Amino acid sequence: MTTSRSDAKSEQRARTDPRRLRELMGRVSALAQEHGVGSVVAGVAGRDGDLQISEFMDFVESALRIEDTIFRMTRERSVLFLTDVTRAQAEEVVERLLQSFAEQTAAPKPPAVALGFATVEPGGELPLLRDVLLDAFPARS
């Protein structure tokens, strides 16, 4: 069965729908509250107009574990939801993904990205999505 162009566009819209971002944050919060599983929300932001960042996000999406997910806010900005990891582990995962991408695409260096991390700990106060996004996407200097 082949996917039509309109089906592909509908699927892309669904993947970038802001309601899905709230659903993913709700899932992370539920894992923390109901199952005692901490998660890290990582913001990945490339430079505006950087074509390599879109390819990197495709690579990340294919490399994530089944329990992890990505939400693409724009072509240059994405949010990674990494479950059952610490912040240090999440930082290592993102760094390995950057290095693997550079190696597999024969890029002279990994793409230039700004990273931010927000943790959702079990037993703690659940953060608001707005606060998580502020941590995940710190102001650029």
Band of pLDDT at residue 141, cut at 50, 70 and 90: very low
- The answer to whether position 97 is within a domain reads yes
* Parent domain of 103: 5-136
pTM for the model: 0.80
Find, among 74, 70, 71, the residue nearest to 48 by Cα. Answer: 74
Q: What is the pLDDT of residues 86-109, one digit of tens each?
A: 999 999 999 999 999 999 988 888
Spatial distance between the Cα atoms of 65 and 61, rounded to a whole number of angstroms: 9
Tally of domains within the chain: 1
Give residue-wise pLDDT tens across range 64-75: 999 999 999 988
| CATH code, domain carrying 19 | 3.30.70.270
Say if 141 falls within a structural domain. no
